[in-house]
Amino acid sequence: MRGLFDLTGKTALITGSSKGIGKAIATEMARQGAQVVISSRKEDACQAVADEINAELEGQAGGAIVIAAHIGHKEELQRLVDETRAALGKIDILVCNAAVNPYYGPMKDMPDSAFEKILSINIQSNHWLMHMVLPEMVERRDGSIIIVSSIGGLRGNEVIGAYCISKAADLQMVRNLSCEYGPHNVRVNAISPGLVRTDFARALWENPEILDKRTQFDPLRRIAEPREIAGAAVYLASDAGSFTTGQNIVVDGGATIS
């Protein structure tokens, strides 16, 4: 009997999976039996992650392959999807994890180029990629799409405003697409992490004083590790989450309720 969290026989495509949260999600999905595609701009970084996963799971159901791609280019995303299908036959699970934030400061001082990059990479690229994968999920009447958003999409912020706007837009995209594709048994959900120990958030945790200030009012009083976000993704991708769609799972140590 398959367990609720078993992903054996599933293919998962995960963007931004050469490090941080994306790597943790890919690793945990592979441990649950999925064949995962490690993807980011740098092929050597992706290969190191795939090698690590394959060495751990040698002889078991799960495994990893590498298909590097720049999510900011539509043709690169199409190649990513095409090569995934050519190598693994199908895409059962899509995790849109890659994102950027090239600007830190008040929005009035933000260059137009930075604003456009954030909206393009964090919203439009997800829109493109999801609609490249959705037709086969509709045909099979089965599929799970997950966007890694942020608690920044749930509240205001004085220094990463455009990033927060993009993450709020991702949450609305999840709601819209879950309504459109729910009748086809395709589920679309989001995960909103709080502060996680990743390179992306390094400025907020590498200084102990800044970290203490940032977490002092959070119920758990600490930063998350990437693996603590991955469990929510496994849930949403597996039979355990088969009746969950259009939702945003907040994994933040209680930051948004305190």
How do the pLDDT tens digits run along the chain, 258 residues long?
469 999 999 999 999 999 999 999 999 999 999 999 999 999 999 999 999 999 999 999 999 999 999 999 999 999 999 999 999 999 999 999 999 999 989 999 999 999 999 999 999 999 999 999 999 999 999 999 999 999 999 999 999 999 999 999 999 999 999 999 999 999 999 999 999 998 877 777 778 888 888 899 999 999 999 999 999 999 999 999 999 999 999 999 999 999
Q: Where are the domains of the chain?
A: 11-257
pLDDT for residue 1:
42
Could you give the CA distance from residue 236 to residue 217 in angstroms, rounded to a whole number? Answer: 29
Pairing of strands 248-251, 35-39: unpaired
User: Is 163 a residue of the active site?
Assistant: yes
- Cα–Cα distance list, 58 to 2, 44, 63, 88 (Å): 21, 20, 8, 17
pLDDT for residue 200:
79
Q: Is 157 exposed, middle or buried (0-12, 13-18, 19+ CB in 10 A)?
A: middle
pTM listed for this prediction: 0.96
Residues 6+ apart with CB under 8 A from 93: 7, 10, 11, 12, 13, 29, 34, 143, 144, 145, 146, 237
Q: Pick from 149, 144, 164: which is nearest to 235 by CA?
A: 144
Asked: is 11-257 a CATH 3.40.50.2000 domain? The reply is: no
Helices (H), the chain: 20-31, 43-56, 74-88, 112-119, 125-140, 161-181, 202-205, 208-215, 227-237
Could you give the CA distance from residue 71 to residue 54 in angstroms, rounded to a whole number? Answer: 25
Could you give the CA distance from residue 237 to residue 169 in angstroms, rounded to a whole number? Answer: 22
Could you say which of 103, 163, 181, 235 is catalytic? 163
- Bridge partners of 166? none
pLDDT for residue 96:
98
Could you give the CA distance from residue 130 to residue 90 in angstroms, rounded to a whole number? Answer: 14
- Give me the sign of the Cα torsion angle 135, 136, 139, 143: negative
- Give me the sign of the Cα torsion angle 212, 164, 116, 191: positive
CB 24 within 8 A of CB 16: no
